[in-house]
Amino acid sequence: MKPLNELTIVEARELLDKGEVTSRQLTEACLQQIKSLDGALHAYLEVYEEDALAAANRADDRRAEGSVLGPLDGIPVAIKDNMLLQGKSSTAGSKILQGYTATYDSTVVKKLVDAGSVILGRVNMDEFAMGSSTERSAYGPTKHPRDPERVPGGSSGGSAVAVAADMCLGALGSDTGGSIRQPASLCGIVGLKPTYGRVSRYGLIAMASSLDQIGPMTKCVEDSAIMLEAIQGQDKNDQTSSDEAYFKPFWKKSLQGVKIGLPKQAWTSQGVEDRVKEKTEAAVAALKSAGADLVEIDLPYADEALAVYYILMPCEVSANLSRFDGMRYGLRKQGLPLFETYAQSRAEGFGDEVMRRVLLGAFALSSGYIDAYYVRAKKVQTLIRQAYEHAFQNVDLIVTPTSPTTAFKFGEKMNDPIAMYLEDVFTVSVNVAGVPAISIPCEDDGGMPVGIQLIGKWFDEATLLSAARVLEAQLKTDN
């Protein structure tokens, strides 16, 4: 048997059901891995050791009594630092929230706890989820598990590393423009961004409310399905959450009869590393081997999606972050007049990238510019959504690379915001349109990981995950 912390959720659940391991043993194995590795990798900002062991004991007691809560009962997981857990710190990777203690549970965390999950701790992230490398955390960068001189991606870099380095069995991340899928790609794990509205955002420290979505980061596709089942559903506390039929997985053995589109805008894109091109083209060949019907499609406005995203997102950032003013919670500069309190608290509490995006958003929303920037971007957003609607009339899924690069070195793109923003070139249109997408690893040669992205129809995660699982199996066969 492999070490317990290296198990998938599916494998761990099977052993738990057979009585061959306990939740406490799983939890202790993960905690030991954290103690061994996290000093070097810095995935966790806080570990809830006592609480986790107590939760594991309760799970074992339930199992002994025959009252298991579900497939996640007793499974140790991690949560991103922007999801509230009552009584625990939540900082969104920012100094301005240092010392803030959550007064209520986010819906996703409550659902995990209600499902019996063991919450190991909160993991690192780019400040307020603004970044693609986890270098922007106010509490220090997270390092790539295969090469500590390289970034793990972002903003959910802590979640990705915790899973990839076997410091948990699964984790939650949030995805505004690729923040689940891009670090999943760079770290060689599975990352699922559900349809906008599939999962409640209540208790998520917001970045851009019309784009944010919470999703699972796991070691295999089936694990992502298990976590999505647990956290999905409409929530009266989030009016953007949907009452669409619940996701229920079904697993196909092949892709026979499944039509998958290859958008020419993605597959002829400049700036894609040779390794990414090689591995993703091999994954496309694996889709064909699994029976898929591959067709080239036109997906217009792919280039415009990045520009639209980097207008809409800062506009929402400037509105959402106005609440962090040094008065209600978090960092506060004392003894100053009102305006100076605001200015000094925010100047010391926010990092450079956060201030850049707040300023960009405030400018784009200002009188005289709102029509030229925000209103025009909203119109193009409609065109992007219509482009996906048209594409999905002819195909079941769309496939692209997840990221144009593998993990890059620390500092390589920190002083070049445009280069960092281009990391999201294949992922942002998914958020702009609100469709679901998944990144799965497509290399197994020990080099830096590469991910391939499958994009599905609105609220059709079942088809998306089924195809991803077939591809996952085919890639293992081919390798």
- Given 23, 117, 155, 185, which residue is catalytic? 155
- Given the residues 90, 117, 179, 345, select the one marked as catalytic: 179
Distance CA 294, CA 257 (A): 10
CB neighbour burial string for 442-472, b if at least 16 within 10 angstroms, e if fewer = bbeeeebbbbbbbbbbbbbbbbbbbbbbbbb
Q: Which of 23, 80, 88, 466 is catalytic?
A: 80
Task: Select from 63, 17, 385, 406 the least CA-distant residue to 211.
Answer: 385
Question: Positive or negative, the Cα torsion across 64, 69, 75, 80?
Answer: negative
Written as one letter, the residue type at 4 is L
229, with CB counted inside 10 A (0-12, 13-18, 19+), is buried
Residue 313's closest CA among 238, 373, 387? 373
Is 179 designated active site? yes
Reply yes or no on whether 156 is catalytic.
no
Q: Is 159 among the catalytic positions?
A: no
Residue with tokens 């025959």: 66
CA distance 228 to 199: 8
- Tell the burial category of 300 from Cβ atoms under 10 Å away from its Cβ (0-12, 13-18, 19+): middle
Partnered with residue 127 across adjacent β-strands are none
Q: Parallel, antiparallel, or unpaired for β 259-263 and 293-297?
A: parallel
Ramachandran area for residue 401 (φ above 0: left; ψ -120 to 50: alpha; else beta): beta
- For 431, list phi and psi in degrees, rounded to 5: -70, -40
What distance in Å separates the CA atoms of residue 33 and residue 23, rounded to the nearest whole number?
Answer: 15
Q: Which residue bears the tokens 């900002």?
A: 45
458 close to 197: Cβ distance less than 8 angstroms: no
Which residues participate in catalysis according to the annotation? 80, 155, 179
